[in-house]
Structure 1
Amino acid sequence: MKIVIVGGVAGGMSAATRLRRLNENAEIIVFEKGPYVSFANCGLPYHISGEIETREQLLVQTSTGLNNRFNIDVRPNHEVVQIDRENKKVMFNHNQETGVETYDYLILSTGASPITPQIKGIERSEHIFTLRSIPDLDRIMDQVQQNPKHAVVVGAGFIGLEVAENLVKKGLSVSLVEKAPQVLPPLDEEMASFIQNEVTSKNIAVYTSNSVVEFKDEGQTIVLENGEELSSDLTILSIGVQPESSLAKQAGIKTGLRDGILVNENYQTSDDNIYAVGDAIIVKQQITNQETLIPLASPANRQGRQVADIISGQTRKNKGSIGTSIVRVFDLTAASTGLNERTAKQVQLPISVLHISGKNHAGYFPNATDIHLKLIFHSETGEIYGAQAIGQEGVDKRIDVIATAIKGGLSVFDLPELELTYAPPFGSAKDPVNMAGYAAINLIEGTSESVQWYELEDELNKGKILLDVRNDQELRNGQFSHSIHIPLDNLRDEIHQLDKKKEYIVSCHSGLRSYIAERILKQNGFSVKNLDGAFALYRNIYPDKLIYNKK
Structure 2
Amino acid sequence: MRILVIGAVAAGTSAAAKARRNDDNAEIVIYERDKDISYSGCGLPYYIGGEIEDIGELTPRDPIFFKKKYNVDVFTGYEVLNINPDLKQITVKNLHTKEVFIDNYDKLIIATGAKPFIPNIEGVDKENVFFLRNVQSARNIRNYIERKKPKDAVIAGTGFIGFEMLENLMADGINVTIVEMQNKITPNLDEDMALFLENALLKKKINIIKNSTITKIDDETVTLNDNTVLKSDMVIMATGVRPNTELVREAGIEIGVTKAIKVNNKMQTNITDIYACGDCIETFSTITGKPVYRPLGSTANKTGRIAGDVVTGGALEYKGNLSTGIFKLFDMSIASTGLSEKEALEEGYEIQICHNIKPDKPSYFHGKEMVIKAIADKKTQKILGVQIVGYEGVDKRIDVFVTLITYGAKVDELFHLDLAYAPPFSTTKDPVHYTGMILDNALNHNRKIITSEELTKLVEKDEKIQIVDTRVSKQYDEAHVDNSENIPHSKLRKSMETLDRDCAVVTYCNKGVTGNATQNILINHGFKEVYNLSGGHKFYKESKSK
Cα shift readout 1:223-274 (whole Å, capped 9, x = no counterpart): 1122211121110101111111111111111112242101112111011210
Cα shift readout 1:127-155 (whole Å, capped 9, x = no counterpart): 11100101111111121011011100000
For residues 27 and 414 of structure 1, the distance between their equivalents in structure 2, rounded to whole angstroms, comes to 50
How far residue 69 of structure 1 moved from its aligned partner, in angstroms, is: 1.1
Corresponding residue number in structure 2 for 1:61 = 61
Give the counterpart of 2:171 among 169, 172, 178.
169
For residues 134 and 268 of structure 1, the distance between their equivalents in structure 2, rounded to whole angstroms, comes to 29
Question: Any idea what SS the aligned residue of 1:399 has?
Answer: helix
TM normalised by structure 2 equals 0.96
For residues 515 and 226 of structure 1, the distance between their equivalents in structure 2, rounded to whole angstroms, comes to 46
For residues 117 and 255 of structure 2, the distance between their equivalents in structure 1, rounded to whole angstroms, comes to 18
| Structure 1 residue 510 corresponds to structure 2 residue 511 | yes
Corresponding residue number in structure 1 for 2:105 = 103
| Structure 1 residue 492 corresponds to structure 2 residue 493 | yes
Question: Any idea what SS the aligned residue of 1:156 has?
Answer: coil
For residues 542 and 336 of structure 1, the distance between their equivalents in structure 2, rounded to whole angstroms, comes to 20
Alignment of 1:365-380 (within 5 A): 365-380=364-379
How far residue 291 of structure 1 moved from its aligned partner, in angstroms, is: 1.1
How far residue 37 of structure 1 moved from its aligned partner, in angstroms, is: 1.2
For residues 314 and 530 of structure 1, the distance between their equivalents in structure 2, rounded to whole angstroms, comes to 53
Corresponding residue number in structure 2 for 1:113 = 115
Structure 2: 5+ residue runs without aligned partners? none
Corresponding residue number in structure 2 for 1:126 = 127
Corresponding residue number in structure 2 for 1:70 = 70
Question: Any idea what SS the aligned residue of 1:153 has?
Answer: strand
| Structure 1 residue 311 corresponds to structure 2 residue 311 | yes
Say whether the 8 Å CA contact 1:31–1:75 is kept in structure 2: yes
Q: Following superposition, which runs of at least 4 residues in structure 1 exceed 4 angstroms of deviation? A: none
Alignment of 1:107-506 (within 5 A): 107-123=109-125, 125-145=126-146, 146-215=148-217, 217=218, 219-363=219-363, 365-460=364-459, 461-475=462-476, 477-506=478-507
Cα shift readout 1:453-476 (whole Å, capped 9, x = no counterpart): 111122232021210011234336
For residues 64 and 201 of structure 1, the distance between their equivalents in structure 2, rounded to whole angstroms, comes to 49
Corresponding residue number in structure 2 for 1:86 = 86
What is the letter of the counterpart of residue 489 of structure 1? S
How far residue 543 of structure 1 moved from its aligned partner, in angstroms, is: 7.0
How far residue 446 of structure 1 moved from its aligned partner, in angstroms, is: 4.1
How far residue 49 of structure 1 moved from its aligned partner, in angstroms, is: 1.2
Residues 258 and 284 of structure 1, relative CA distance in 2, 3 Å threshold: closer
Equivalenced residue count is 540
Identity of aligned residues (%): 35
Say whether the 8 Å CA contact 1:199–1:329 is kept in structure 2: no
Corresponding residue number in structure 1 for 2:39 = 39
For residues 502 and 437 of structure 2, the distance between their equivalents in structure 1, rounded to whole angstroms, comes to 30
Residues 476 and 424 of structure 1, relative CA distance in 2, 3 Å threshold: farther
For residues 225 and 129 of structure 1, the distance between their equivalents in structure 2, rounded to whole angstroms, comes to 20
How far residue 287 of structure 1 moved from its aligned partner, in angstroms, is: 0.8
What is the letter of the counterpart of residue 155 of structure 2? V
Say whether the 8 Å CA contact 1:187–1:336 is kept in structure 2: yes
For residues 155 and 248 of structure 1, the distance between their equivalents in structure 2, rounded to whole angstroms, comes to 29
For residues 374 and 436 of structure 2, the distance between their equivalents in structure 1, rounded to whole angstroms, comes to 9
For residues 314 and 387 of structure 1, the distance between their equivalents in structure 2, rounded to whole angstroms, comes to 34
Please give the root-mean-square deviation of Cα atoms over the aligned residues, in Å.
Answer: 1.4
For residues 367 and 475 of structure 2, the distance between their equivalents in structure 1, rounded to whole angstroms, comes to 20
For residues 476 and 297 of structure 1, the distance between their equivalents in structure 2, rounded to whole angstroms, comes to 49
How far residue 408 of structure 1 moved from its aligned partner, in angstroms, is: 1.6
What is the letter of the counterpart of residue 329 of structure 1? L
How far residue 86 of structure 1 moved from its aligned partner, in angstroms, is: 1.1
Say whether the 8 Å CA contact 1:92–1:100 is kept in structure 2: yes
Say whether the 8 Å CA contact 2:112–2:244 is kept in structure 1: yes
Question: Any idea what SS the aligned residue of 2:365 has?
Answer: coil
What is the letter of the counterpart of residue 209 of structure 1? N
Corresponding residue number in structure 2 for 1:519 = 520
Corresponding residue number in structure 2 for 1:548 = none
What is the letter of the counterpart of residue 436 of structure 1? T
How far residue 201 of structure 1 moved from its aligned partner, in angstroms, is: 3.0
How far residue 477 of structure 1 moved from its aligned partner, in angstroms, is: 4.8
Cα shift readout 1:6-53 (whole Å, capped 9, x = no counterpart): 111111111111111111111111111100111110000011110111
Say whether the 8 Å CA contact 2:469–2:476 is kept in structure 1: no
For residues 93 and 147 of structure 1, the distance between their equivalents in structure 2, rounded to whole angstroms, comes to 38
How far residue 99 of structure 1 moved from its aligned partner, in angstroms, is: 2.0
How far residue 195 of structure 1 moved from its aligned partner, in angstroms, is: 2.3
What is the letter of the counterpart of residue 110 of structure 1? T
TM normalised by structure 1 equals 0.95
Say whether the 8 Å CA contact 1:187–1:340 is kept in structure 2: yes
